[in-house]
């Protein structure tokens, strides 16, 4: 597939890459402890030079309707390539976004920071994630960025596994946006 193929839009191309290169079938245990017959390993494609620009374009478009957002990021490691892809893609939209990284724990040295990147205090941000199962990682990132003084506009994920993340995020009072779901990948029931 040629990245510049004008017939294929970015979302369709992204779905094709994920389906072919990031979906694995077998017996898997998810972070939540739940068992699954397939695994979506988005790092296989989110760190790929052909796919990262597609992720940036699709995700930047997904949040385009949210006013005043100035930064995107989330828990390291899953959110890191998503946020940096969006940072790069957003420049072409004329609405540039900064990226940030949330550590699981604050550093025990240096400045003792839990969040790396530009200052978030007073900014409106979107918490991003590669694949969402329970919503635990985005909720942990939300706690950290709100503690840093940011306002969370939404949570945006590349692939929603439809296993409760949306409900957990929305129950906590946040908007949940997903670019792709299991049906898009031919994995829905």
Query: In the prediction, which pLDDT does 1 show?
Result: 41
pLDDT of residue 188: 78
Residues of the chain with pLDDT under 70: 1-8, 106-112, 189
- pLDDT value at residue 32: 76
Distance CA 43, CA 84 (A): 13
Contacts of residue 14, defined as CB under 8 A and 6 or more positions apart, other chains included, come to 51, 54, 55, 58, 158, 179, 180
Neighbours of 105 (CB within 10 A): 8
pLDDT at 165: 94
Tokens of 135: 């919503």
Quick one: pLDDT at residue 171?
98
Nearest-angstrom CA–CA distance, 41 and 78: 10
- Quickly list H helices, 47-164: 52-62, 79-93, 136-147
- Give the pLDDT confidence score for residue 4 in this predicted structure: 45
pLDDT at 11: 96
Q: How far apart are CA 103 and CA 115, in angstroms?
A: 6
pTM over 0.85: yes
Q: What's the mean per-residue pLDDT of the chain?
A: 91
Q: Which residues of 40-59 are buried (b: 16+ CB within 10 A; e: fewer)?
A: bebeebbebeebbbbbbbbb
Instruction: Give the SS3 label for residue 25.
Output: strand
Domains of the chain: 10-181 (3.40.50.2020)
């Amino acid at each position: 597939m040629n990245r510049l193929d004008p017939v294929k839009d970015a979302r369709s191309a992204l779905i094709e890459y994920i389906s072919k290169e990031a979906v694995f079938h077998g017996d898997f245990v998810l972070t939540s402890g739940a068992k699954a017959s397939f695994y979506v390993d988005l790092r296989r494609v989110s760190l790929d030079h052909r796919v990262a620009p597609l992720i940036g374009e699709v995700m930047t478009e997904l949040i385009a309707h949210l006013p005043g957002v100035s930064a995107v990021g989330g828990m390291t490691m899953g959110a890191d390539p998503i946020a940096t892809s969006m940072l790069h893609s957003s420049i072409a939209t004329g609405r540039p976004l900064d990226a940030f990284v949330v550590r699981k724990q604050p550093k025990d040295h240096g400045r003792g920071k839990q969040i790396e990147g530009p200052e978030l205090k007073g900014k409106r941000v979107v918490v991003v994630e590669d694949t969402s199962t329970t919503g635990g990682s985005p909720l942990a990132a939300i706690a950290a960025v709100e503690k840093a003084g940011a306002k969370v506009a939404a949570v945006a994920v590349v692939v929603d596994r439809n296993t409760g993340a949306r409900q957990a995020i929305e129950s906590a009072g946040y908007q949940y946006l997903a670019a792709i779901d299991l049906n898009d990948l031919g994995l829905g029931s």
